[in-house]
A and B are shown apart, each in its own frame.
Chain A
Amino acid sequence: MLEIEDISNDWDGLFSLKGVSLKIKEGEYFVILGPTGAGKTLLLEIIAGLYFPDSGQVRISGNDVTEEPPEKRNIGFLYQDYSLFPNYNARSNIEYGLRIRKVPKEERDETVERLASMLNIENLMERDVTTLSGGEQQKVAMARALAIRPTLLLLDEPFSALDESTKDKLIEDMRALHIKEGITTLHVTHSQEEAMILADRIAIMMDGRIVQVGMPKDIFFKPKTSKIAKFVKIENIWNVDVIEKTDEGILVGLDGHKILTPPNRSIEGGTARLIIRPEDIVIGSGASTSARNRFSGKVMSIEQRGFYNIVRIDCGFNVVAAVTRQSIEELEIGVGDEVRVFFKTTALHVVPR
């Protein structure tokens, strides 16, 4: 549906895109995840036609639109700052695109009513938009983008200026909306949570390049490089020596310990990096686990991080485990205690160094 081919752009040396290519399917919810300054917004603005790329092509439904101005592309765009027209009320904001298209009043009213009811903002229609809360403004902006029946919806960090509870509610609404309307959506964000909840597929963008594209589980559990692993908050990245490749997997050595990892054709021999999410590390007696990789270690620190506790363990190599508060209490773990650490071979992921 949307094809971006080898887009490059240098924007005053501040942001640049270096040969970005992507294919997004009809009806797909696609998230581009990347740190601030990766060039995500610039890419969206190029897709929308607000900037023209130095080279490369943008195709929508098979048509090359690279040179088309934004008003000819029929793309809905939502900015983080809502960008509502402060000189119009909520209704006039939503109607803006329809007025330009000279849609008759009855049809405009019908569209506004439908979108307002879908987004639960019927009572805000006559309000001055500067008096609306952040969440309300974002809903009006969403209705405004949807009113033109866009072929593609581009969302630029749409929830990052909202408080947590409003954000959660809007993410939920967004999901329901996508299921109902089925509009092909490209959403850029630095929030992994948003990506995990909303995305059909995710692309990781770093320094102006797409470095990995995949299903959410591939991105978060099988990052292609240790840099991506770090970005998706995998803290266990170990440098290992490849001992041998067997039918079962790859046997690697880590500070004198042997660990069995799943097979990976891109690993030839020599050294590699082993990656495992902190959530996949189990601490305990080991009685109830079939995990093959078992180690002993000493708890170095325990710190609260959100709803998890991050436990750092020295097993001769550093292991970071994410454990619930309840588990900590049940296991009666404290700093300095000796513990047993387990992880399944299937939870491990090995990447070239």
Chain B
Amino acid sequence: MLRRNPLSFIFLIIGFGIILFVGAALFNLIYKTLFLNTDNFIAIMRDPAVLRSIWLTLYTSFIATLISIFFGIPIAYVLARHDFPGKQLIESIIDIPIIIPHTVAGIALFSLLMRKGTVGGIFESLGIVFQDSMWGIVAAMLFVSYPFFVNSAKEGFASINPNIEKVARTLGASQSHAFFHITLPLSIRHILSGAIMSWARGVSEFGAIVVIAYYPMIASTLILYRFNTGGLSESQPIAVLLILICFVTFLAFRMASKKKWRK
């Protein structure tokens, strides 16, 4: 097909440059670790501190994603369906985390959620501490990742013909029935894809997390710590393990979200 389309063929070759760049960096890392330092890699895979940090990374990001879904779906729906004064302001606020440097995000969150912070103090009295805790990691991940979820869900809702909801209403569905039985199932692909992107963004976060919660160490923090103390040989295998786990999980989620959702 591409051969009959010379422009697309040329574009593919040019585009391949970026694939090569990313591919070379990853291949170099994976090849060196898996094939040249296999024993070291196996040892790292058995290191409880490494496994703990990777597990912590994956599930804190999962919790952050669940929170994004819970709060993101309603706002995404309203933004997709209605025009109202201040809508653009809300959309800009949603996008801010994409624009600002992550250390800045970390400092903003630290100032708000630290034990002596305005909101952090209130939460501490309820038994939830952010500073140097799992909840701090979740908060930082949520902050940087929710725009990906909200924007994807919004796009999903906007892509559904509003007349479909209206017809459901005339057929006897309440607003919430029409939403949960028609609109939500129809947007499921965008919602899943947003959730995957949001989860992946959470996993890849480092800058904001080290400011608010250096401990417990997530994988990225541990990699930096091991790099500083033991060099490449100690940090590289952790990086590869994280890459492999993330790649497999990401691929599995992607494939699941491509499934046809029909009744």
Please list the residues of chain A having a beta carbon within 8 angstroms of any beta carbon in chain B: 12, 45, 48-50, 69-71, 73-77, 79, 81, 83-89, 92, 96-97, 100-101, 128, 141, 144-145, 148
Contacts and interface: CB of A to CB of B under 8 A. Distances in A.
Interface stretch (B36-44, B123-131, B163-171): B163-171
Interface string B168-190: 11111110010000100110000
A87 B167 contact: no
17 contacts: A48-B166, A48-B170, A50-B170, A70-B169, A71-B174, A77-B167, A79-B167, A81-B161, A81-B163, A85-B164, A85-B186, A88-B262, A89-B263, A92-B263, A97-B171, A97-B172, A144-B167
B263 to A, nearest CB: 5
Nearest to B163: A83
A45 B166 contact: yes
A77 B166 contact: yes
Q: Output the residue of A45, A76, A83 with the most chain B CB within 10 A.
A: A83
Contact of A100 (B166, B167, B173, B263): B173
A207 B199 CA distance: 51
Contacts of B172: 71, 74, 97, 100-101, 148
Contact of B263 (A45, A73, A87, A148): A87
Given A92-B263, A128-B262, A83 B164 contact: yes
Given A83-B161, A85-B164, A100-B177, A50 B186 contact: no
Interface string B78-108: 0000010000000000000000000000000
Contacts, number: 74
B261 interface: yes
Nearest to B184: A87
Contact of A87 (B173, B177, B262): B262
Given A79-B163, A87-B262, A87-B263, A69 B171 contact: no
Interface size class of B (residues with CB under 8 A): 20 to 34
B263 A88 contact: yes
Contacts of A48: 166, 169-170
Interface string B155-166: 000000101101
Given A79-B163, A83-B161, A100 B171 contact: yes
Contacts of A144: 167, 171
B149 to A, nearest CB: 21
B173 A71 contact: yes
Given A71-B173, A83-B161, 18 more contacts: A48-B166, A49-B169, A50-B166, A70-B166, A71-B174, A76-B170, A79-B163, A79-B167, A83-B164, A83-B166, A87-B186, A87-B262, A96-B168, A100-B173, A100-B177, A141-B167, A148-B171, A148-B172
A74 B170 CA distance: 7
Contact of B185 (A50, A84, A87): A87
Nearest to A150: B170
Contacts of A12: 83
Contacts of B167: 77, 79, 83, 141, 144
Contact of B182 (A50, A74, A85): A85
A6 B177 CA distance: 32
Contacts of B174: 69, 71
Nearest to B171: A97
A50 B169 contact: yes
A70 B171 CA distance: 8
Contacts of A71: 169-174
A87 B261 contact: yes
Nearest to B186: A87
B163 A96 contact: no
B170 A75 contact: yes
A52 to B, nearest CB: 13
Contact of B170 (A73, A85, A86, A92): A73
The 3 A-B residue pairs with the shortest CB-CB distance, nearest first, are A97-B171, A70-B169, A83-B163
Nearest to A71: B172
B170 A77 contact: yes
Contacts of A96: 168, 171, 173
Contacts of B83: 12
Contacts of B171: 71, 96-97, 100, 144-145, 148
A11 to B, nearest CB: 12
Contacts of A69: 169, 174
Q: Output the residue of B167, B168, B186, B261 with the most chain A CB within 10 A.
A: B167
Nearest to A130: B262
A96 B181 CA distance: 10
Contacts of A84: 164
Q: Output the residue of A76, A97, A128, A148 with the most chain B CB within 10 A.
A: A97
Given A85-B182, A86-B186, A87-B262, A70 B161 contact: no
Q: Output the residue of A74, A92, A96 with the most chain B CB within 10 A.
A: A96
Contacts of B263: 87-89, 92
